[in-house]
Structure 1
Amino acid sequence: MNTNPLVQADRRLSDLALALPGAARVFHRHGLDFCCGGRATLSEACADQDLDLEQVLRELSVEPSAGEPAARWVEAPLAELVEHVLERYHAGHREELPRLVAMAEKVERVHADKSSCPHGLAAHLQLIADSMEEHMQKEEQVLFPMLLAGRGRMAAMPITCMREEHDDHGRNFVKLRALAQDYAAPAEACATWRALYQGIEQFVIDGMEHVALENNVLFQRALSG
């Protein structure tokens, strides 16, 4: 039974992700896109994926999380929100992605003869690292300074560009999950292999939260401010 009044089937995925700290993990578990596809309602998204809506509602109602609702950033000072994005996501991705690339390269090298080896995983992670670095630099050097200078309404063109690149990130996350075998390490996987899949899963969740926060909060505030 759903006991959380915030959890409603007719609410958009993006709204639920903002309101509920544990929603991102539930959506990720079921393959629901709450960042680029976040405008769909929960009922619409579950129907599209042929998911049990009542089961997802129950999971959303009880999912534990030590975090805080992302909705607090709707009212926080813009400079504080930008700083949060830089520290929580930009810095985090730059620290984590090289580690994951190195681990993937090791796994592919050591286990190349196994049929379960995730061939191509390291190359795709490197592609993501390169594309995200280029994207983050555009935000840091062009978009964010515009927003902090109070020129948000003039930023429609760069924001459109960033949204399109976010869509590319979303497609890359989907392929990454497939290459990582839905994060289910095979029985013969070593400790590094298992840690790699765990790290990739957390990175994808963080990446989707990052995109959702920018698309649904930062950019919305910038264009209406």
Structure 2
Amino acid sequence: MNASFTRETKTGDIVTQFPKASQLFKEYKIDFCCGGNRPISEAINEQDLNEEEVLSRLNTLYSDTINQQDKLNNWEVAPYSQLIDYILTIHHTYLYNLLPELSTFVTKVYRVHGKTHPELEQVYQLFHTLKLELEHHLIQEEEKIFPKIKEYEKSHSLSYLKEVLKTIDTLEMEHETTGTILKKIREVTNDYKLPEGACNTYTLTYLKFEELESDLFEHIHLENNILFQRLAKEKV
């Protein structure tokens, strides 16, 4: 694999190109905010880390993420359990990792820059409303909905199918609420337009909002347009 990032790449540039790298940097305690304008090799040496190991993990994570995004699945015919496991592994895991991290960034940016950028108060409120909505939604799917779909797939019991079909409208309404909040955040931030001289944390926050929006659109598409549509066509 050809390395995408080298020892000379600046930490801030890495996170700008690949926001998910922030999780790895936090693990290694590599400063990508205030120290974002220096080569990653300096940050690695400062923490007395193994440079080869850090760069290898970084580039492997980047490569795996790109490959996963490029992977095509025929979800129209795949088993329900396979589609559900994909949603859980890719999209639910992503949200569980991102939401607490983004909460920290949103809070920090609001605290530091809220006086000069009053729209950040609304961003703070909207995001944490979204966070609560999503966390509740994930639990409902994981504890109540997805297990019933898997049981239906195994047993073809109409009782399981009927229970699932009764919940689809509610789930779709929750998806609509998610989309509405994301739209409001985009409007408030003027399409995530950064103010002049925005710090690295401010920049990363907006990048992660766009990443979150993109992932949620794919997530909701898989559920609304494929999983739920397929279930609705089953004979009750």
TM over 0.5: yes
Q: How does 1:73-152 map to 2 (within 5 A)?
A: 73-115=75-117, 118-150=120-152, 151-152=160-161
Report which stretch shifted further, 149-158 or 134-143.
149-158
Specify the structure having the higher radius of gyration (Cα).
2
> Is contact 2:76–2:226 with CA below 8 Å preserved after alignment?
yes
In structure 2, C-alpha distance between the alignment counterparts of 1:70 and 1:131, rounded to whole Å? 29
In structure 2, C-alpha distance between the alignment counterparts of 1:204 and 1:87, rounded to whole Å? 18
CA 1:137–1:70: 2 relative to 1, 3 Å: farther
User: Do structure 1's residue 167 and structure 2's residue 176 form an aligned pair?
Assistant: yes
The amino acid of 1:106's aligned partner reads K
> Is contact 2:102–2:208 with CA below 8 Å preserved after alignment?
yes
1:9-65 CA-to-partner distances (Å, cap 9, x unmatched) read xxxxxxxxxxxxxxxxxxxxxxxxxxxxxxxxxxxxxxxxxxxxxxxxxxxxxxx99
> Is contact 1:153–1:224 with CA below 8 Å preserved after alignment?
no
Cross-structure match for 2:209: 200
- Give how far 1:136 is off: 1.1
Structure 1: runs of 5 or more not aligned: 1-63
In structure 1, C-alpha distance between the alignment counterparts of 2:139 and 2:174, rounded to whole Å? 13
> Is contact 2:168–2:228 with CA below 8 Å preserved after alignment?
yes
Instruction: Give the alignment's TM-score, normalised by structure 1.
Output: 0.66
Structure 2: runs of 5 or more not aligned: 1-65, 153-159
> Is contact 1:183–1:197 with CA below 8 Å preserved after alignment?
yes
1:144-189 CA-to-partner distances (Å, cap 9, x unmatched) read 1111011335422111110111111110110121233311111121
- Give how far 1:120 is off: 2.1
> Is contact 1:116–1:186 with CA below 8 Å preserved after alignment?
no
In structure 2, C-alpha distance between the alignment counterparts of 1:115 and 1:141, rounded to whole Å? 40
The amino acid of 2:143's aligned partner reads Q
2:69 aligned counterpart, secondary structure: coil
In structure 1, C-alpha distance between the alignment counterparts of 2:193 and 2:118, rounded to whole Å? 11
In structure 1, C-alpha distance between the alignment counterparts of 2:188 and 2:77, rounded to whole Å? 38
- Give how far 1:113 is off: 2.5
Report which stretch shifted further, 109-118 or 201-210.
109-118
- Give how far 1:83 is off: 0.5
- Report how many aligned residue pairs link the two structures: 162
CA RMSD between the two structures: 2.1
In structure 2, C-alpha distance between the alignment counterparts of 1:172 and 1:115, rounded to whole Å? 20
CA 1:137–1:118: 2 relative to 1, 3 Å: same
> Is contact 1:107–1:117 with CA below 8 Å preserved after alignment?
no
The correspondence for 2:229, drawn from 206, 220, 224, is 220
In structure 2, C-alpha distance between the alignment counterparts of 1:96 and 1:134, rounded to whole Å? 15
